[in-house]
Amino acid sequence: MAIKDYIREKFFPHIWCPGCGHGIALNGLLHAVENMGLKKNDVVMVSGIGCSSRIAGYLDFHTLHTIHGRALAFAIGVKMSRPELTLLAPMGDGDALSIGGNHFIHACRRNIDMTAIVMNNKVYGMTGGQYSPLSGYGTMATTAPYSNIDQQFDVVDMATAAGATFVARTTAYHVQQMADILEEAIRHKGFSVVEVMTPCPTYFGRKNREGSAVDMMEKLKTMTTPIGSKAKQENPALIERGVFVKKEMPEYCAEYQKIIERATKGN
């Protein structure tokens, strides 16, 4: 199946601002799905609300555009009833870790087979640039005009601590790595989390004087480094990207099936 066959062309051009990284995440996801040869009918994409969540509208899978923060709750419901389907849950940083934080950590510990993609632009893009739990201390936002005093979550640390069996980070600059990591995450049997660092030039960029969309892209290149690189030892401020966790654990739907069998046999 060609990439264009996975797209709902009637909804294009998309609504994202020029320079937004969300479309690049969409592109990476499409390449991963195409490379795996997945059939449209076998994929369910569940998103919440946010600029990032618009991704579900553009793809011709079974899609649910649900409630802010609740993508994982809906996705888990679908997966529990149809475990044979491939579940993808793209979320914004606010969506996944602010209002949806509780769903996120509990999904990590249950190890249900699906892929959570956290499109981290460090801001609430859709609603006008409020700070998110990933904005970071000292950043500027519509709701922090004198600078943000909240410390940030690290998505990778958070997902790892909560028990996710696949945890990775990539950026909108590293398009090939993004497609490869997303494919590996989707193939992983268990709960996989991929943080995609993505620029929001309209709000985060403008408020924080990060320059043009191209400057923000350049920053994703210069502020990150592959896991375990020499550059990280020399400059600890660099953010590592790559696959941090990949381990096997009993998968939730498979375990639930065993419970059903035990209950129906009465032992």
Ligand X SMILES: Cc1ncc(C[n+]2csc(CCOP(=O)(O)OP(=O)(O)O)c2C)c(N)n1
In the complex, the residues that contact ligand SF4 under the rule CB under 6 A are: 16-17, 20, 22, 51, 121, 125-126, 200-203
Q: Are 87 and 168 in contact (CB under 8 A)?
A: no
| 202 part of the interface to ligand X, by CB under 6 A | no
| 195 part of the interface to ligand X, by CB under 6 A | no
In 3D space, the residue among 243, 246, 214 whose CA is nearest the CA of residue 226 turns out to be: 243
From the CB of 247, what's the least distance to ligand SF4, in Å? 32
The residue number with the shortest CB distance to ligand X is: 92
Contacting residues for 260 by C-beta, under 8 A, at least 6 apart: none
- DSSP labels, 176-192: HHHHHHHHHHHHSSSEE
| 124 part of the interface to ligand X, by CB under 6 A | yes
- HSE-CB at 43 with a 13 A cutoff on CA atoms is 22
Contact flags string 47-86 toward ligand X, x per CB under 6 A: --xxxx---------------x------------------
For ligand X, how many residues bind (rule: CB under 6 A)?
Answer: 18
For Mg ion, how many residues bind (rule: CB under 5 A)?
Answer: 4
| 121 part of the interface to Mg ion, by CB under 5 A | yes
- Residue in the structure block whose two tokens are 């990590």: 108
In 3D space, the residue among 140, 131, 137, 194 whose CA is nearest the CA of residue 168 turns out to be: 194
Rule CB under 6 A: which residues touch ligand X? Answer: 49-52, 68, 92-95, 99, 119, 121, 123-127, 132
Rule CB under 5 A: which residues touch Mg ion? Answer: 92-93, 121, 125
